[in-house]
Structure 1
């Protein structure tokens, strides 16, 4: 078991009043137990309103604000998760998929999986779907250069496939597109990760094999057993840590994740 201490700090200025949707809180799950967490927002804003996250996991928070807002999220999370092991695993029949997961077979805004079906069919030949996902992840790690600042917020999996460059969200989008092209349900996951360099919000992938979701990080910046999930969704559209319905100017932003000696505690929010 690994216990992580997390501090995320977001400082923004909103020139006009705007609605803001935050997704920065760790999801309480069986393999990542929240020992303590607290979200604080300082500035000229409305009371916070929380809503359920996608697939019923975690929560997101609405606020209405103007001017400077200072957001601080702190958490202590105990992770009890085995290393990723999907070799030999297969998908369940489509008709047995939970209805909410059917969308993760389909192309989405940043993951146009239909454009990659020919490449996936001819390039990856593992005996099981899990074997093929591992081949896809190896191909991406080998062939895509991790290049901060190269891609933009509008970059799709196809753009990354062509340019062979990107950051964590681009690596995740490409693996999702490949997986869906092979009829494997795949969703994007925002997370905190131990050892991410430079420290920031991180994006990885979950694939649905043999009735459960399995984490996989195609960048290999952090082992899956050192990741803390924040939000899940079809692609970057659904997992953004901060969605602003208006305009905002970044003042500063930081994410810090360290191992903690904490062993127990109460969750607060």
Structure 2
């Protein structure tokens, strides 16, 4: 499917404020960028760099006063995501060097404290690997309540495991932390999902199994394609759409994902 995706962010800055945006998707696995737009008002100089995870980052200084960013892209996406029940676990000694750091605990994913829960969730899984990650995804979907306003920017996987409530970011952190506690590399993905309700920017995770990354979304009851990835990282600290270095208030945000004519 071809999707037209985008967002508009409207800010109010108290002073000239350095900002890093992470809003541009790039062509890669499961998606091809056909066209894109990037509008900034008022116009300011922008530079772009690629971070350690391959994400496209836009760097600028927002002037004092009203400031807005609008991004849009038409993207060819896959209608389905790959499912591989029985795909085997990759021994740590066989993992690629650039995958190893996705095994480690991180700010929001305290995998070193969740081993017992992960072992309980996957106790009946016969084949280590994909089926363990799927058991974790299913357990979160069935046992963690999705509810806005129940978490904030400091909520971690440990908090979500204890309180059993959160939003997509929290579901994702918990899924990654549980996978990592079983020595399955896991990374956070943020972007767009077609027919997400209510519409918003979305988060899910990928686990490295049998030599490749597989998608897992604990907010969904079944595998769902038509996703547009914007960024990858260890957790939310790496994939923030906006990182500001000064007082700047986000007044409104509009997000859209629509089927595009081919």
TM range (shorter): over 0.9
- In the TM superposition, residue 29 of structure 1 has moved relative to its aligned partner by 0.8
| 1:71-117, Cα deviation, whole Å (9 max, x unpaired) | 01010000136433031112322223222211100100000011101
Tell me if the contact between 1:49 and 1:63 (Cα under 8 Å) persists in the aligned partners: yes
Q: CA RMSD in A?
A: 1.5
**Secondary structure in 2 aligned to 1:55?**
coil
Q: Are 1:66 and 2:58 matched, yes or no?
A: no
**Secondary structure in 2 aligned to 1:16?**
coil
- Structure 1 residues not aligned, in runs of 5+: 263-269
Q: Are 1:112 and 2:105 matched, yes or no?
A: no
**Secondary structure in 1 aligned to 2:257?**
strand
Tell me if the contact between 1:116 and 1:181 (Cα under 8 Å) persists in the aligned partners: yes
2:26 match: 27
- For residues 151-170 of structure 1, what are the structure 2 equivalents within 5 Å? 151-170=151-170
TM-score by length of 1: 0.92
| Cα separation, 1, equivalents of 2:221 and 2:153 | 20
1:265 match: none
1:3 match: 2
| 1:166-197, Cα deviation, whole Å (9 max, x unpaired) | 00000000000100011000000001111112
Q: Are 1:16 and 2:15 matched, yes or no?
A: yes
**Secondary structure in 1 aligned to 2:23?**
coil
| Cα separation, 2, equivalents of 1:118 and 1:246 | 41
- For residues 72-87 of structure 1, what are the structure 2 equivalents within 5 Å? 72-80=70-78, 82-87=80-85
Aligned residues: 259
1:172 match: 172
1:219 match: 219
1:186 match: 186
| Cα separation, 2, equivalents of 1:242 and 1:50 | 14
Q: Are 1:233 and 2:236 matched, yes or no?
A: no
Tell me if the contact between 1:197 and 1:221 (Cα under 8 Å) persists in the aligned partners: no
| 1:206-255, Cα deviation, whole Å (9 max, x unpaired) | 11111111111110188541111000000000111111111211221110
| Cα separation, 2, equivalents of 1:222 and 1:199 | 18
- The 1:221–1:5 alpha-carbon spacing in structure 2 relative to 1, beyond 3 Å, is farther
Tell me if the contact between 2:190 and 2:229 (Cα under 8 Å) persists in the aligned partners: yes
| Cα separation, 1, equivalents of 2:76 and 2:208 | 24
**Secondary structure in 2 aligned to 1:108?**
coil
| Cα separation, 1, equivalents of 2:48 and 2:259 | 28
Tell me if the contact between 2:40 and 2:69 (Cα under 8 Å) persists in the aligned partners: yes
TM-score by length of 2: 0.94
2:201 match: 201
- In the TM superposition, residue 44 of structure 1 has moved relative to its aligned partner by 5.9
Q: Are 1:122 and 2:120 matched, yes or no?
A: yes
| Cα separation, 2, equivalents of 1:259 and 1:210 | 33
1:39 match: 38
| Cα separation, 2, equivalents of 1:52 and 1:101 | 18
| Cα separation, 1, equivalents of 2:7 and 2:114 | 36
Tell me if the contact between 2:108 and 2:156 (Cα under 8 Å) persists in the aligned partners: yes
